[in-house]
Amino acid sequence: MAQWHLRSKRKITGGLLKRASKKKRHQRGRDFLPAHIGTVKVKILRSRGGNSKFMLLSSNIANVLAGGKAQKAKILSVVENKADAQFVRRNIITKGAIIQTELGKARVTSRPGQDGVINAVIVEEKPTQK
């Protein structure tokens, strides 16, 4: 079912507001499709002006910024997610999630549902074996 980004139907006092206009297509929202850990799957969505958004459905690779250099790293698991505690158990990646990668723990800086890619910054580097 469609979600609508409209103003409230009620006033602060509790009374009903009169409609100023009909619902418009650009006021529709989208359902949340979470990005999981797995093979790379991207859904292409049409956005306003005929432009495209890339909704990431699953990925096992992240672009991790470590020491001023960006590297591709394999995602092992989701360690922490402030958006929802259940996302950790279900391995759902959102912006702000802490993920465990081959390079160490990293915080996701991109929006996978909007950008179609996972960018992250190293928070805690993995100790190197000597």
Q: What is the CATH number of the domain that holds 76?
A: 3.10.290.70
CB atoms < 10 A from the CB of 75, how many? 22
Residue 35 lies in a domain: yes
Q: What CA–CA distances, in Å, run from 130 to 67, 100, 103, 127?
A: 20, 21, 16, 9
- Has residue 130 been placed in a domain? no
Global confidence as pTM: 0.82
Confidence class for position 129, pLDDT limits 50, 70, 90: low
- 18 located within any domain: no
Across the chain, mean pLDDT equals 92
Domain assignment of residue 95, given as a range: 31-125
pLDDT tens for residues 92-103? 999 999 999 999
Residues belonging to the chain: 130
**Total domain count, the chain:** 1
